[in-house]
Amino acid sequence: MDAGGGVYVVDAAVTMRDNHVFENADTGIYVLRSSVTITGNHVYSNTQSGIEVNTSTAAISGNTVTSNTYGGMRVSFSDAVLTGNVVSNNTYGKGGGLFVEESETTLTGNTIISSIEDVTAVCR
pLDDT per position in the chain (124 positions), as tens?
445 589 999 999 999 999 999 999 999 999 999 999 999 999 999 999 999 999 999 999 999 999 999 889 999 999 999 999 999 999 876 668 898 999 999 999 999 887 665 565 555 4
Q: What is the number of other CB atoms lying within 10 angstroms of the CB of residue 113?
A: 12
> What pLDDT is recorded for position 124?
44
The DSSP annotation for 101-112 comes to ES-EEEEES-EE
pLDDT of 51: 97
pLDDT at 117 (0 to 100): 59
What pLDDT is recorded for position 1?
Answer: 47
Render the burial of 60-93: b for 16+ CB within 10 Å, e for the rest. bbebbbbbbebbbbbbbebbbebeebebbbbebe
Question: How high is the pLDDT of residue 18?
Answer: 98
pLDDT for res 92:
77
- Identify the pLDDT of residue 25: 93
- What integer pLDDT is reported at residue 122 of this predicted model? 53
What predicted TM-score, i.e. pTM, was given to this entire model?
0.91
